[in-house]
Amino acid sequence: MAKPIMAKATAVWLIDNTTISFKQIADFVGMHELEIQGIADGDVAPGVKGFDPVANNQLTDEEIAAAEKSPLHKLKLKFNAAAQGEEKRRGPRYTPLSKRQDRPNSILWLVKFHPELTDGQIAKLVGTTKPTIQSIRERTHWNIANMQPIDPVALGLCKQTELDAAVQKAAAKKAAEGQAMSDDERRKLLSTEQSLTMDAEPKIPTAIEGLETFSLKDEDEEKEEEILDADSFFNLPSGTDDEQP
């Protein structure tokens, strides 16, 4: 089933401007119902501006009204005859002029939170060039001081499925090359449920605790020996006071 463009922004608009249930919105935009609940609570996609699906030819007013009347009604994407039979575009991703200024911020986000991604993968995700990515990695970009990391999915530069696929591919390549992954990198590739079930690593090994106890005992014994040696040093041989010169 076809999904609307800018799913999160569309969900924000539907939450703010309609009384459609979270389940109906989730099914329409292809997200989980808990994510829609998080958007309504302000925990997910904060600061994302709503994207009007009616004005952008994705929904009709009649379809929204029908969904508001019946919680069982499933929203249907508006039929667009011009999009039928359209082939997948080959070559660099096109980025609208209004979003090109946000591209460096999305590159900074990808470099910071997904360092396993190659320059080629990042260029394909957000439609940029490798020299630009390299300058941001090395923090030599002319505007690096004013840049803030922003999720490219929230900006509409790529889809969540595309980002997830790129991350999984990079992780598989890294594992195939035999490179060790840090705990932070490994947890990024796990789901929330898997991360919560992992055992916490002990902060202090028991073997070190035993060594600390053993060393304290040795220090006490050495102090006792020093005290005994000091007393024996001041003990004079018997009979020295009775001898006459």
DSSP the chain: ----SSHHHHHHHHHHH----HHHHHHHHT--HHHHHHHHHTSSSTTPPP--TTTTTS--HHHHHHHHH-TTPPP-PPP-GGGTTPPPP-SSPP--HHHHTTHHHHHHHHHHH-TTS-HHHHHHHHT--HHHHHHHHTT--TTGGG-----HHHHTSS-HHHHHHHHHHHHHHHHHTTPPPPHHHHHHTS-HHHHHHSPPPPSS-HHHHHHHHHHHHHHHHHHHHHHHHHHHHHPPPTTTTT---
Domain ranges of the chain: 7-80, 97-191
pLDDT at residue 107 tops 90: yes
Binning pLDDT at 50, 70 and 90, where does residue 135 land? very high
Give the distance, in angstroms, between the CA of residue 232 and the centroid of all CA atoms in the same chain.
Answer: 69
Give this prediction's pTM. 0.39
Distance between first and last Cα of the chain: 120
At position 153, the amino acid (one-letter code) is V
pLDDT (tens digit per residue) in 22-32: 999 989 888 88
* Six-digit token string for 180: 């060790």
- Each residue of 166-193: pLDDT tens digit? 999 988 887 887 654 555 555 555 444 4
pLDDT at 206 over 50: no
Q: Confidence class of residue 133 from pLDDT cuts 50, 70 and 90?
A: very high
